[in-house]
A and B are shown apart, each in its own frame.
Chain A
Amino acid sequence: EDQVTQSPEALRLQEGESSSLNCSYTVSGLRGLFWYRQDPGKGPEFLFTLYSAGEEKEKERLKATLTKKESFLHITAPKPEDSATYLCAVQANTGNQFYFGTGTSLTVIP
């Protein structure tokens, strides 16, 4: 069964304190892994797509990496405006469905 698990559930960081969020997945062949950011009361907003192990993508203070079993979202020197819930989703190459994790709620304290 295709599954996505994110950890930790919640993370509080001081401004400038770097950390990583984890997304581990079990799929029968990965077509793509997606990271989204979701602000309270809003729809998820796309951040990155990763397709194969070893791939990395960066955007401002965020960097996403992918291995055969998990993905990390590294946050370097976070700012309060980075506070949000970060969602990971996968798509298996056997179908057209997307499977989301339950997210990591990040709070960055000034």
Chain B
Amino acid sequence: EAQVTQNPRYLITVTGKKLTVTCSQNMNHEYMSWYRQDPGLGLRQIYYSMNVEVTDKGDVPEGYKVSRKEKRNFPLILESPSPNQTSLYFCASSLILGGYNEQFFGPGTRLTVL
């Protein structure tokens, strides 16, 4: 089954404790992206990757890191989480074939930073 998986689905942590949210897709998509979704602000893009070893900042990259060492995986790293990073996070992927196609989204990771 074609899918984007994220882990963990729920996470409660404390300020400053480094964490990683994993994202994996099994569709051989080139494009992968991380979003955060906050009430009243909608989905905002954090980072995206056009392919292996190619990453770029989205609208809200501060406080986040990403890496793309393999095509299928795109982890999101919070080196020193703060309460303002409490949010619902989505990973997404898509093909780049003659232009951008639909993005497939993961189920989301709800993060609370105390």
Question: Which residues of A approach B to under 8 Å, CB–CB?
Answer: 31-32, 34, 36, 41-46, 49, 51, 87, 89, 91, 96-103
Contact = CB atoms under 8 A, between A and B. Distances in A.
A43 B90 contact: yes
* Range class of the B interface residue count: 20 to 34
B103 A96 contact: no
B44 A32 contact: no
Contact of B103 (A51, A98, A99): A98
A41 B108 contact: yes
Interface of B: 4, 31, 33, 35, 40-45, 48, 50, 56, 58-59, 90, 92, 99-108
A44 B58 contact: no
Q: Is the interface of B mostly helix, strand, loop or mixed?
A: strand
A96 B107 contact: no
Nearest to B106: A43
Contacts of A97: 45, 48, 58-59
A58 B105 CA distance: 22
Most chain A beta-carbon neighbours within 10 Å: one of B31, B33, B45: B45
